[in-house]
Amino acid sequence: MGYILRAIDESEKIKISVAITTDVVEEAASIHKTSKTASAALGRVLTAAAIIGSWQKNEKDSLTLSINGNGPGGKILATCKNDGHVKGFISNPCADLPVRESDGKLDVSELVGAGDLTLTMDIGLKKPYTGSVNLVTGEIAEDLATYFLKSDQIPSAVGLGVLVDTDYSIKAAGGFIIQLMPGADNSQVDKLEENLSKINGITSLIEKYHDGEEILKVLMNGFNVKVLEKRDISYKCDCSREKVIDAIVSVGPKEIEEILVEDKKADVTCHFCNSHYHFDEEDLEKMLDKAKSLNS
Ligand SMILES: [Zn+2]
């Protein structure tokens, strides 16, 4: 089980969340059978969605982070509900690239390509709130920091990392988001920058400490920090046969009639968990009746 620690420094000018998501990313990688680079890209997006999702207030709130790039990986999307369940997918899980020559790291940036990052927050209003920025590097963390600055005017430091083992298992995954509230002073910023300059990525901290509170201490060295919440995070899809039926019914009687004439069956696979749902002619007739009654 993964978890997120949400904390604040005693001046209440610096908010920080630290996530350990090794198990979450492992589950995602095993469901989607991702390449190494795709594991890293999807894992970063899942981790970021889980952190931002943990800031939601109401039970039914949900958050979706999508990265729409033109690279070989295609679209990457993750959704996190307020109950700590996160799920996601990458359009081309098999896409892979050689490790980057400059730093020996998995080349997430090339896998993602150029495009945009979109955050959608559904907090039960008529329309969900959506914000978007162009991708800066495609490494996800920098792109998210840019989003917070441009969209929310909040200076932020974001770290996201996934360490993939030679056997494709996930050795470590996690992330952090540090945000400066209005009134944070220069000495606090300097101290934070000094702390961040000393670390060599979030995954090396997870490998070394295996503990969110210890990582929090390293990132916030020199600050008095209070942990506000520890929240469990797990990879879980909430799809069901009933939900798929509702979705098919909602497309309308005309479309269902077409399926009945052409295929006499429907097969639906969930993007998030690869669960397969098969509907035969009889199932479709029932859905058609339901769709007709809703449309009449
Ligand atoms: Zn599913």
Rounded to the nearest whole angstrom, what is the distance from the C-alpha of residue 91 to the centroid of ligand 1? 15
The alpha carbon of 108 and the centre of ligand 1 are apart by a number of angstroms equal to 25
Q: Which tens digit of pLDDT belongs to each residue from 193-247?
A: 999 999 999 999 999 999 999 999 999 999 999 999 999 999 999 999 999 999 9
Q: Where are the beta strands (DSSP E) in 194-253?
A: 225-235
Q: Computed from CA positions of residues 48, 52, 58, 61, in that sequence, does the dihedral angle turn out positive or negative? A: negative
CATH class of 241-295: alpha beta
Determine the pLDDT at residue 60. 86
Give 212 Cα–ligand 1 centroid separation in angstroms. 29
Gap from CA of 22 to ligand 1 centroid (Å): 20
Kindly indicate the confidence band of residue 51, based on its pLDDT and cuts at 50, 70 and 90: very high
Q: Kindly give the distance from the C-alpha atom of residue 98 to the centroid of ligand 1, in angstroms, as a whole number.
A: 31
- Separation CA 101–CA 9 (nearest Å): 39
CA of 227 to the centre of ligand 1 (A): 33
Q: What is the pTM of this model?
A: 0.94
From ligand 1's centre to the CA of 271, what distance in Å? 7
Nearest to 100 by CA among 111, 114, 91: 111
Cβ neighbours, 10 Å, residue 73? 28
> 2-235 — its CATH code?
3.55.30.10
**Residue 238 Cα, ligand 1 centroid: separation in angstroms?**
6
User: Is the pLDDT confidence value at 296 over 90?
Assistant: no
Domain ranges of the chain: 2-235, 241-295
Tell me how far the alpha carbon of residue 277 lies from the centroid of ligand 1, in angstroms.
10
83-125, pLDDT tens digit by residue? 899 999 999 999 999 999 998 899 999 999 999 999 999 988 8
pLDDT digits (tens, 9 = 90+) for 160-171: 999 999 999 999
Please, which residues have CB within 8 angstroms of residue 183's CB and are 6 or more apart in sequence?
Answer: 13
Tokens of 219: 């990132």
Q: Note residues around ion ligand 1 (Cβ under 5 angstroms).
A: 237, 239, 270, 272-273, 275
Q: How far is ligand 1, taken at its centre, from the CA of residue 84, in Å? A: 16
Q: Band of the pLDDT at 58, cuts 50, 70, 90? A: confident
Cα(243) to centroid(ligand 1), Å: 10
